[in-house]
Chain A
Amino acid sequence: MRKKAAITSIMVGLLLFVVWKYSARRVSDLILPQPADVFTVLMEGFIDGYFYPHIMTTLTEIFIGLLIGTVLGIGAGIIIGESAFLRNVFSPYIVISQAIPKIALAPLFMLWFGYGMTSKVVITALVCFFPLLEATASAMRQVNNEQLALFKLMHASRLQTLWHLKIPGGLPSILQGLRVAVILALVGAIVGEFIGANQGLGALITASQSMMDTTLMFAVLIILALIGFLLYGLVNLLEWKLLHLKKGEEKH
C-alpha cells in the first residue's frame, strides 16, 4: 500500500514536471523559464558558491529564530497551561495578538532593530512562538485524570508532575506545534528579507525580481522548497527519536 502510494506520488511529480516543461514552451522565459535552464542556474550557483552565503544567512535566521521562539513558546505554554489564573489574565491578549498578522509587524521591526539579522530573527521567533505556546498550553491540560491522581497519591511535587508526566505526555502535541513552527520560521525569515536585506534567499528573490531574472527566482524557490522539506524531515526525525524509539514497537 505504502509502496503504491510512493510510486503514485513520484508519477504526480513527473506529471507536474512535464506540464511545466510544455507550458514553458508556450510563454516567454520571463514568465515561466524552462526546467533545464532553472536546473543549470541551480547547478552553476552551487558549483561557483554563489548560493552558499545566502543559504547560510537564511538558515542562521531560521535556526536562531526557531530556537528562541521554541524555548519561549514552550516555556510560556507550560506556565499558562499550569496556572489557571495566568491563563485567564493573558488569554484575551493572546487572542488579540493572534488576530494581528505577525508578518505585518516586519516593517516595524526593521525600524526597531535595523536591516541586519536581528530583525529577521525577531520576526521568525515571533511567528514560531504562538503555535508552540498554544500546543504546549493545551498539552499541559490534556493529562489523563487517573495518572494525575496517581501522581497525587505518590505525593509528587508540581515540578515532578511536570517533568515525569505532563511534559513527556504532552510531547506529541508539542511536536505538532513544532511542525507548524518550522514552516512558519521559513516564511518569517523570507518575508523579513523581502522587506530589507542584503543577503539571504528572500533578498535574492527580490534581487532577481528587480533584474527580471525569473530563472534565478525559480532556482531560489526550489532551494527554499528543499529547505522546507529538510526542516519538516528534521521534526519527523526528532518525533521518531522522542516518541516511537522510546515507546518501542507497538503491539499488534
Chain B
Amino acid sequence: MVELELRNVSYQYEKDTFSVQELNWKLHRGEIHCWLGRSGSGKTTLLQLAAGLKQPTGGKVLHQDVPVEEPLSDIGFVFQDATLLQWKKVIDNILLPIQLKRKITEEDIAYAKALLEMLQIQHLFDRYPSTLSGGQKSRVAIARALVTRPTLLFCDEPFAALDLLTKEELQNELLYLNQSKNIAMLFVTHDVSEAAFLADQIGVMEKGAFIYRQQAPDWSNVNSHRRDTPLFRDYCMGIRQSLEETAHA
C-alpha cells in the first residue's frame, strides 16, 4: 500500500531562484526512505511539502491516495531541534499532541510510558527538558511523534547534533520502531552512513532534484551488525561518490 506519493511536485520560493522541480516519489507502508543531500539541496523543503507544511506550486502530494491540502494530521514529525517545550515535563511534552485534540485518558498515559520504556528513558518522565542530554531530548521528541500512533513519521535531520555513539543507538531504536510498529518513515539527513543504515531506498538531492536513487541491498542475513560488514562499507562508498558528484553538478 502506498503511504505517501509525490506526483510531479514543484515548489518555487517567492523572489528566489531556488525551486523544487517536478519530483516523483512513492513511499510504501512500513518502509524507510532517506533523502540525502548537501545543505540547501532542497531536502527539507521537500519534506515540508510532503508533510503539508508547504503547498506545492505544481503537482500534488497524496497521503493514502488523498490529496494533501493542509498539514497532515496523525503523522509524527521529528525536527532537527528536539522542539520540546521547556516549561512542560517530559510526560506532558509527549502527551501534547493528544492534549491539543482531546482529554487525556489513562490509556494515553500508559501508552506514553510504554514508548518511554521502549526508548529506555522511562526514568525521565517527570523531568523538565532543560535537565536532559541531547540524546535524551531526541528520544523524547521521537516518543512525542509516536504517541498518536501514526503510520507515517517524518524526520528532519533529528540526530544531526548528536555524538556518534548516541546517534547509532537512536538509529537502532528507530529501526526497531519501524519494524515493530510497521511505521513508514521519511528521513532527511546529510549523513551517508545514517541513510545507508536506515533506508530501504535513498534519494540523493541537488538543486531541488533527485540526481541519484538507490535501493538498499538485502540486509536480511546481516541485519544485527550491518555497519561492520564490507557490504555496508561498499554501499556507503557508492552513495558518497554520488554525493561528491553533486559538487561538480
Contact = CB atoms under 8 A, between A and B. Distances in A.
Contacts of B51: 153
B53 A251 contact: no
Given A156-B100, A164-B96, A247 B79 contact: no
B75 interface: yes
Interface stretch (A55-63, A79-87, A144-152, A178-186): A144-152
Interface in B211-238: none
Contacts of B17: none
Contact of B100 (A155, A171, A248): A155
B126 to A, nearest CB: 10
A247 B130 contact: yes
A48 interface: no
A92 to B, nearest CB: 27
Contact of A248 (B48, B79, B101, B131): B131
A179 to B, nearest CB: 19
Nearest to A155: B73
B80 A251 contact: no
Interface residues of B, number: 27
B77 A153 contact: yes
A160 to B, nearest CB: 5
A82 B40 CA distance: 30
Nearest to A165: B85
A51 B81 CA distance: 56
A153 B75 contact: yes
Given A154-B97, A155-B100, A149 B79 contact: yes
Given A153-B51, A153-B71, A168 B87 contact: yes
Interface residues of A, number: 24
Nearest to A249: B131
A180 B85 CA distance: 27
B81 A146 contact: yes
A109 to B, nearest CB: 39
B120 interface: no
Counting chain A CB atoms within 10 Å of each CB, which of B81, B83, B99, B133 scores highest? B83
Given A149-B79, A152-B71, A251 B85 contact: no
A160 B132 contact: no
Contact of A152 (B53, B79, B133): B53
Given A152-B53, A153-B53, A248 B128 contact: yes
B85 A247 contact: no
A144 B83 contact: yes
A146 B83 contact: yes
B146 to A, nearest CB: 13
A20 to B, nearest CB: 45
A156 B73 CA distance: 11
* Most central of A153, A155, A249 by chain B CB within 10 Å: A153
Contact of B71 (A144, A146, A155, A250): A155
B77 A150 contact: yes
Interface string B71-94: 111010101110101110000000
Nearest to B98: A154
A26 interface: no
12 contacts: A146-B81, A149-B79, A150-B77, A153-B75, A154-B96, A154-B97, A154-B100, A160-B100, A165-B85, A247-B86, A248-B127, A249-B131
Given A149-B79, A248-B127, 17 more contacts: A146-B80, A149-B48, A150-B77, A151-B100, A153-B71, A153-B72, A153-B75, A153-B77, A154-B100, A155-B71, A164-B96, A165-B85, A168-B87, A246-B128, A248-B128, A249-B130, A251-B132
Q: Which 3 residue pairs are nearest across A and B when measured between Cβ atoms?
A: A248-B128, A146-B79, A168-B87
